[in-house]
Structure 1
């Protein structure tokens, strides 16, 4: 398969498949009962492959929530590694939602684990195309991740203004004369490498649940790819993500996890569940679809 940088992968896959990201969160309490085998952990591999079967050819991106796989122990981590590799082999952009962040050598170890190719000293097990990271401990803790992203053509999503109800407790507070989320946005924008006319691989997580904040932060991040969680189960709607969309195709990705995979009927059959997944994928894609060419024509 042809090697592409994260930005190239985003631009290509958004053009072909749109902005939807399928979230893979193996939480058995919200899934059909046929995923519950006698072995409490081995079912995760079957679940991942089931979701990828539905996603392949329909979406350009998947997001693996690391915590659910870690909770499954070694079998969960094996399923994570195998699922990431399968998605990448199919040409999908793989986001690992691990929200890592730490000081010095520890941050460098995380960057080696998730962003460094095997040939360059990584393990090869959990190499993602893009990783979510936490900036709370300061700009220096981001440096190893940014260095790896630039060196190996990877992407980052830095937590900026998140979608959870308690996010405003810190992110909407003032630090000096600036909101903390604005200061983080300035940091992200300052890390953008390369041509000012291109997308930056250093992106931001901004919730679809906070359109007013999102509108302000987008003005500070004209080149950034924004990952906008919160559509569906968290209460965000398609209208709210308009505030987060910029002017470049690929500058917005919209992950949906529980809104796609949660089953109201836990006794549904595998055939019916697969059909529902594909139908929901199509519905979400249609809800967030946007014609950038039409926008440019109207602006001209």
Structure 2
């Protein structure tokens, strides 16, 4: 298994394929019925994952697996997740595990061993990702075990800063003292990231900032000039063209945009697999163009 640093993966893959991230959130009602087998068994899941990876490896540089969707299918889901992560990493994709972990130090260290520690260094290797989403709400000390993995193993983090969900402003846009909470989170991300930078143009400690909040995004990008920003919200969540522009920095690869439902979900489950393949191809090209040239965002509907 490769040992490249996250920032090297980002720079290389963003240069070759752009900033789109394929978001894989497997949910049976959203996928073609052709993947189902008799008896309702879960063998549709690995076949579906292989289908998606077959059509994105070599076309997209990044993939984001949403851990909860796999956990919901129990052991079969976790086994499928492990196999898909290993395949994507072996193919050269930058693998982001969207697990949003965060807890007291000893528990955070266990999460670090689970997701960010290579097998050669004591991890299981079953769910090793290149980058992990984490929740900082319990304080800076809970980030330290994850940051240790960044320093030791060249991994990446995306720390929640200003998320794309409708209720995010209830806390993240509140003032504490004379600062927004999201600003304080950006300051924290910048501070903890300095110790992990190691002279690279991009910082391996990045931020999750939704592509739905242009005003907030512009302000937060100014606080995080060297951070890689993961910007969810494009597509069904109504990602804003102005927000994408605001979040774009000055370094190649500093803006990664995940698209999941807008790329892979179907409304008509009776669609044939060859038609589904063509649909993914068309959507992929459209979203790649949107992310490269945000003025085309309205074309996604």
Q: TM-score, normalised by structure 2?
A: 0.94
Aligned to 1:181: 182
Q: Deviations over 1:111-164 (max 9, x none)?
A: 000000001110110000000000010110000001111110000000000000
Which residue, 254, 258, 279 being the options, matches 1:255?
Answer: 258
Q: 1:2 to 1:107 in 2, by over 3 A?
A: closer
Q: CA RMSD in A?
A: 1.4
State the 1:197 CA deviation. Answer: 6.0
Q: In 2, are the aligned partners of 1:42 and 1:76 still within 8 Å (CA)?
A: no
Q: In 2, are the aligned partners of 1:41 and 1:73 still within 8 Å (CA)?
A: no
Q: In 1, are the aligned partners of 2:214 and 2:240 still within 8 Å (CA)?
A: no
1:97 aligns with 2:98: yes
Distance 1:238 1:81 in 2: 35
Q: Which runs of 5+ in 1 are unaligned?
A: 292-300
Q: Deviations over 1:266-300 (max 9, x none)?
A: 10001110111011111100111159xxxxxxxxx
Aligned to 1:78: 79
Q: How many residues align?
A: 291
1:49 aligns with 2:47: no
Q: TM-score, normalised by structure 1?
A: 0.94
State the 1:233 CA deviation. Answer: 1.1
State the 1:47 CA deviation. Answer: 1.1
State the 1:2 CA deviation. Answer: 5.2
SS in 2 for 1:57: coil
Aligned to 2:285: 282
SS in 1 for 2:143: helix
Q: Which runs of 5+ in 2 are unaligned?
A: 295-301
Moved over 2 A (4+): 35-42, 193-197, 237-240
Distance 1:238 1:2 in 2: 36
Q: In 1, are the aligned partners of 2:164 and 2:211 still within 8 Å (CA)?
A: yes
Q: In 2, are the aligned partners of 1:196 and 1:223 still within 8 Å (CA)?
A: no
Q: 1:2 to 1:77 in 2, by over 3 A?
A: closer
Q: Deviations over 1:12-58 (max 9, x none)?
A: 00000000000001011111111222334221111111110111111
Distance 2:60 2:142 in 1: 33
